[in-house]
Structure 1
Amino acid sequence: MPRYMLIMRGTDETNAAMMASIDEAMAATGRFIEEMMKADVLLAAEGLDDPGRGVVVDFSGETPVVTDGPYGETRELFGGYFLLDVASTQEAVEWAKRFPAVPGSKIEVRRVAEADEVPQISESTGQV
């Protein structure tokens, strides 16, 4: 069965709104996770740490530049993900629509590419 990632996307405002009622948000998220586990579609679920504790490796120049968080202007930040094993994009979308999201936040739904869809690198030449 195909795998789909539900990527949580928020802004500073939606993250602040969620933190204002964190106990309620965590309880609702826990119930959502339980529903997915009972339906046997959840493969993984992880939240990401505060972006202020992250770093960015920027490849814009000749050598990579590492910048500590918090970052410059960001409109949206990834906050975590759910990895689902479902039959179709539509089924993944239906699960995403059930997430107890804070108004203004978004969930990106993306199919995970299978190994045979990714160009293989030849061991002998190092070329694709």
Structure 2
Amino acid sequence: MPRYLSLIQIDESTAPAEGPSPELMRRMGELIDEMTKAGVMLETDGLTPSAQGKRVLWSGGELTVTDGPFTESKEVVGGYAILQCRDLDEALEWTKRFLKTHEEHWTVTCEVREIAGA
């Protein structure tokens, strides 16, 4: 069965400074439990803010390391999920349900792609 990577991108400028609300975490936890029991969720986790990260660029035969936050990026990867689904349509349905757990003030985008060779 194919595996899919869902890259969870958030707009750090609109995300609450205190992070997700307890209600959001409850809804998300319930959905993750459902997905795990259905055999769909293989792995998921959130990432620390971009201010705590570094970016490494290879260009023109040279490496450059940049400290976060990455001000030139409106959206940054805030987490990921690895799903095992029958097809892309099923992966998209689970991803839509995940996005709907968020309150309206969040701006969240998920990029869903099949893992090559899976």
Determine if the TM-score, normalized by the shorter chain, exceeds 0.5.
Answer: yes
Partner of 2:7: 7
Residues 14 and 39 of structure 1: CA distance in aligned 2, closer, same or farther (over 3 Å):
farther
- The 5 A counterparts of 1:1-128 are 1-16=1-16, 19=19, 21-99=20-98, 100-103=101-104, 104-114=107-117
Q: Quick one: distance in 1 between partners of 2:46 and 2:22?
A: 15
C-alpha distance in structure 2 between counterparts of 1:48 and 1:7, whole Å: 11
TM-score, normalization by structure 2? 0.86
Structure 1 unaligned segments of length 5 or more: list them: 116-128
C-alpha deviation, 1:57, in angstroms? 0.7
Which is higher, the Rg of structure 1 or of structure 2?
A: 1
Tell me how far 1:101 sits from its aligned partner.
3.0
Give me the TM-score of the superposition, normalised by structure 1.
Answer: 0.80
Structure 2 unaligned blocks of 5 or more: none
Give the paired residue count.
114
1:17–1:92 CA distance, 2 compared to 1 (3 A): farther
Instruction: Calculate percent identity across the aligned residue pairs.
Output: 39
Q: Which has the higher strand share?
A: 2
Structure with the larger helix share: 1
Superposition misfits of 4+ residues, deviation over 4 angstroms: none
- Give the alignment's Cα RMSD to 1 decimal: 1.8
Q: 1:14 to 1:87 in 2, by over 3 A?
A: farther
